[in-house]
Structure 1
Amino acid sequence: MPIPSHVERRAMEAARQQGIPEAFQEAFQKAFQKGFQEGFQEGFQEGLQKGLQEGLQLVREIVLEFLNERFNPLPAEVIDRINQISDYETLQQLLERGMSIGSLAEFEQVLAELMTDN
């Protein structure tokens, strides 16, 4: 992502105000650009990771809410095991299987199988 021109102008103006000689200003500009790019990339990656984690947590909550409605009360060990799942596809499979399965005992078997497979 290119640095917005007004940000770069401000950085160069700050360099001049700090007394950085003109000969070093090009190096300063390159260092600033590199730092900006790395900072942007790091921030983007952190934001993406946080978003993925929040999305997984939301899916877990949906699965748990549905299962709690279906098999109320949902045992604490089932809740703990589902909260350990960090794979979207596994959570989706649990939700799909939970919709059609006949009993909590059957669901616990499916949960054990899916957690062993993944």
Structure 2
Amino acid sequence: MTRYHTVRIYHRQVNREYTIQVPDDRYILHNSESQGCGLPFSCRNGACTACAVRILSGEVHQPEAVGLSPELRKKGYALLCVSYAKSDLEVETQDEDEVYELQFGRYFGKGKVKWGFPIDDD
């Protein structure tokens, strides 16, 4: 039997809030689109961070969210394109670049790359 959950989404980038009803057997992003929400997304398969949200309250199931490390999931991040609501939820959209940096920043941005010659900063 399908259960429905109330999902409140605060879209930070446009300062807008949506409240939708989501069945527990459908992705939140897909269902939000059918209810007129204009939320950010890109790949739709859990591999990027465009649809990332931070969970303020509630619980999701996101087994296909390969774009989020287990550490970020434990910190309350989710990808709406591959998340199922498992309770009533409150979430807020995140800046894609910020989440990407949290996910992969330890691998990038370790200073200037030198190509065999000194870099003159003047």
If each structure's strand is expressed as a fraction of its own residues, which one has the higher value? Answer: 2
Same fold? TM cut 0.5: no
Looking at both structures, which has the greater relative contact order when contacts are Cα pairs under 8 Å and sequence separation is at least 6? 2
TM-score by length of 2: 0.23
If each structure's helix is expressed as a fraction of its own residues, which one has the higher value? Answer: 1
Larger Rg: 1
TM-score by length of 1: 0.23
